Amino acid sequence: MGSMDTPTSLANGSSAASDVYLKPKPATNTGMPTAAADMTQSDLDESRKRKSSVLPLDVGTRVMCRWRDGKYHPVKVIERRKLSPGGANDYEYYVHYTEFNRRLDEWVKLEQLDLNSVETVVDEKVEDKVTGLKMTRHQKRKIDETHVEGHEELDAASLREHEEFTKVKNIATIELGRYEIETWYFSPFPPEYNDCLKLYFCEFCLNFMKRKEQLQRHMRKCDLKHPPGDEIYRSGTLSMFEVDGKKNKVYGQNLCYLAKLFLDHKTLYYDVDLFLFYVLCECDDRGCHMVGYFSKEKHSEESYNLACILTLPPYQRKGYGKFLIAFSYELSKKEGKVGTPERPLSDLGLLSYRGYWTRVLLDILKKHKGNISIKELSDMTAIKAEDILSTLQSLELIQYRKGQHVICADPKVLDRHLKAAGRGGLEVDVGKLIWTPYKEQG
């Protein structure tokens, strides 16, 4: 599994019952040239005839679409649905903005499309539809590895099948605690929730419901005020809970359903019994409110210390992502191991990891006197040697001389990179971590 640059972030925490997150702004400027005022009537008639001839738009059509910034951007039609009641050509269209990430895909009205820009390119149909949701861990990884931007060895059939199955967001918004959050991606909720555009989550047990009234009734009965499991860290208002997927199976499954709404290239069809979930919370007198989480396999043959990572959208850009990453490495240190995140990483996950590795390594190189090897850096940080090497190469701080890699840490270059890296995020106070590795728990 994998994670978190979000389009925007919540300005501040309101005391209102439900804050709205990531709502589109009304369009103020079309960004497109207007038709010439001196068009003849025959020109206008010809334009209307041409527009009418392309309707309804086929799946695969490319066209310009007015986005929330008021400007027109190229899109590809992914799906369409008939408006009821409506005429023969009255459809709305689910589009992918080809310049942007899939998280911004959305349903649009016909008036948002510039029909003069239509290019018809109909997609090949996926011959074999996905017939079931159950997948083995191996099958999950096979599909995961096909859907990551920049991946060179794509299994085209698996990629098409995955994208066909997940191409349209099924849930538009969720309510979680005091936040209403727009979702980013498809999540495979049970079939009975297929007709729900909005779901209501209990922020403590993560049960989800179709109606607000159901949630209100549930909250009167739910006695949880924090995630189930053991609190292994508390510093100020921050707490971390370790949840065993085997002991809290429903919670683990609900967390996966929730996370998939914000993670594109991860599939969640495997047994949560194999995983531990580390849920980060902000605590107040009402309880412990989930900020984000990461999961890890109880036993990883590949030395993965993290399987999936997510910071919920209202809490992004506040340093929580790097905190979760740092926490996963502190657990690796207590286990006496080096670790690395499970691949592939999402686009936001890769950015967070690259930022964390950069900051940690630069801090050490800045303070260290004399030579230091990649192996020594790995022992000090629990970061896998390959990740250290790739990070130093991206910073141009390493050279290959006489058959070995040599770190070139010029103080001025380090200072420049440290300045570019920005702040390091929230610190993990290791003295407040009370945790026993899983294998030692019995």
Positions marked active-site: 342
Phi, psi of 8 (to 5 degrees): -160, 175
Q: What is the spatial distance between Cα 16 and Cα 180, in angstroms, rounded to a whole number? A: 11
Whether residue 317 contacts residue 349, with contact meaning beta carbons closer than 8 Å, is answered with no
Phi, psi of 225 (to 5 degrees): -125, 10
Which residue is it, tokens 């709502």? 23
DSSP 2-34: -----S---SS---SS-EEESPPPPP----SPP
In 120-159, where do the E strands start and end?
A: none
Write out the two tokens for 177.
Answer: 């605690």
Q: What is the spatial distance between Cα 346 and Cα 259, in angstroms, rounded to a whole number? A: 13
Q: What is the spatial distance between Cα 11 and Cα 27, in angstroms, rounded to a whole number? A: 21
The secondary structure element, H or E, covering residue 238 is strand 238-244
Q: What is the spatial distance between Cα 21 and Cα 269, in angstroms, rounded to a whole number? A: 28
User: Over the range 232-251, which residues count as b (16 or more CB within 10 Å of their CB) and which as e?
Assistant: bbbeeebbbbbbbbeebeeb
Using CA atoms, how far residue 155 sits from 158, 160, 187, in Å, is: 6, 9, 22
Alpha carbon 244 to chain centroid, angstroms: 22
Instruction: Give the single-character DSSP code of 57.
Output: P
Q: What is the spatial distance between Cα 190 and Cα 171, in angstroms, rounded to a whole number? A: 12
* β-pairing verdict for 179-182 and 19-21: parallel
